[in-house]
């Protein structure tokens, strides 16, 4: 390579670097301050595709506690994978029903493994629609445990938690529930 070609390449690379960091281009590579800081696969911004499970949770004002728990347990990328995956998503009111201080304690770094187990107990491999879950007696969860499904007077319950609604995601289903599911003690 000639000396002139090398100099031109270096100048070109410097110009590209400056263009990427120049004032007026702040939003080109940044994420909105309103969104949680995500990295890895969960940090990929795709506004064209159908939202995945994590996008649905992040976009729901009723699931801020669940999103905080998923992030504290470092499970964001699991909820963005291709799936299929079915998630029973406790809303904020469900977390508020837990004994005082429980959520705050679980969000501590030293309780990450326990929190991850609880969150994982809310996920099942496979795609179970609202109609599908009504037709089964139990669903195997990602922890290896099963949840019991009952239908009473047309209302579906999963381990006693009422299914309030269901949302289709690109990688499965989200079923909003009114209680936090706790895995069996081992």
State mean pLDDT over 93-122. Answer: 95
- Long-range CB pairs of 138-144, under 8 A, 24+ apart, other chains included: 139/86, 141/183, 143/117, 143/183
* pLDDT over threshold 60, residue 25: no
Fold of 41-177: FAS1 domain (2.30.180)
Under DSSP, the state recorded for 86 is E
Q: Where are the domains of the chain?
A: 41-177
* pLDDT over threshold 70, residue 2: no
Residues 6+ apart with CB under 8 A from 149: 133, 134, 136, 137, 138, 139, 156, 157, 158
Residues 6+ apart with CB under 8 A from 184: 145
Give the pLDDT confidence of 124-173 residue by residue, as tens digits: 999 999 888 887 888 999 999 999 999 999 999 999 999 999 999 999 99
């Amino acid at each position: 390579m000639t000396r002139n070609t090398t100099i031109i390449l270096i100048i070109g690379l410097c110009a590209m670097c400056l263009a990427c960091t120049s004032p007026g281009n702040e939003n080109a590579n940044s994420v909105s301050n309103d969104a949680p800081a995500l990295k890895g696969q969960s940090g990929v911004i795709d506004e064209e595709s159908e939202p995945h499970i994590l996008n649905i949770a992040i976009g729901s004002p009723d699931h801020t506690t669940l999103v905080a728990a998923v992030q504290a347990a470092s499970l964001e990328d699991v909820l963005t994978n291709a799936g299929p995956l079915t998630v029973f998503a406790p809303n904020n009111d469900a977390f508020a029903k837990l004994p005082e201080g429980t959520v705050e304690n679980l969000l501590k770094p030293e309780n990450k493994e326990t929190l991850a187990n609880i969150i994982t107990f809310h996920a099942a491999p496979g795609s179970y629609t609202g109609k599908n879950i009504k037709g089964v007696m139990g669903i195997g969860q990602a922890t290896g445990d099963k949840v019991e499904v009952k239908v009473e007077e047309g209302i579906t319950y999963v381990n006693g938690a009422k299914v309030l609604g269901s949302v289709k995601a690109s990688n499965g289903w989200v079923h909003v529930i009114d209680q936090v599911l706790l895995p069996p003690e081992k």
